[in-house]
Amino acid sequence: MRNQSFFHYIPGKTFLHKMQPWIKIILMLTLAIAAFYCPLVPALCIFFTLATFSLTYLRFSPRNLLSDIRPALIYFFLLYMASTFSNITPGEKICFPEMLVPKKYYMELGARLLLSMETTSIFFRTTTQIQLNHGFRQIESALTRRKKTPVADLLSLTLNFVPRLSELWQKISLAWESRGGKNGPRKIKTLTTILFRTGMDESYKKSQAIKNRM
């Protein structure tokens, strides 16, 4: 179940797994930001290329891929709905079925987000939490010329918490279903409270661990 979690590390021996973490961090940030300046067609082409690369060379499962880009797909759907509704406003003279064709602006936003999420997914899936922390420390030490790296520790703690929250949600969700709980507003309300309490407890413990090492 752990490897199916959102942005969770998958062991491997590829060149990306072996790459220096500080190099991957710089590449990931550069590519993720550059994705939001990419035109529609190139963004989609690069996304499908990276997705194919993830499934074939990196051996990610289709479930891994869908898990990581699911937020982007949901946002993409919302953009499509927004575009459709804007086509049927009184000021727009667009007939069916043209009204179902989304506007290029909304399509570009969705494609750019998909590309950015896939780039980030490859980074997290090939980088351990220890490597992530070490990479941020290397970058901060090179910039500040100091051994202490409080900013790097905070960044790594925050980013490591993203896949951990997903894993916690899956666990409490399975526990809810095993007790006969059903999907719906009550589930979201109950589990969100548990997730918040558990997440705060874990973040406190991790912050104390980092503080004790400093």
| pLDDT tens, residue by residue, 18-75 | 999 999 999 988 998 899 899 989 999 999 999 999 999 999 999 888 888 888 888 8
DSSP secondary structure of 166-211: HHHHHHHHHHHHHTT--SSHHHHHHHHHHHHHHHHHHHHHHHHHHH
Contact 155, 170 (CB under 8 A): no
What stretch of H or E contains 121?
Answer: helix 104-125
| pLDDT tens, residue by residue, 110-155 | 889 899 989 989 998 999 888 888 898 899 898 888 888 888 877 7
Q: State whether residue 10 is helix, strand or coil.
A: coil
Q: What is the pLDDT of residue 42?
A: 93
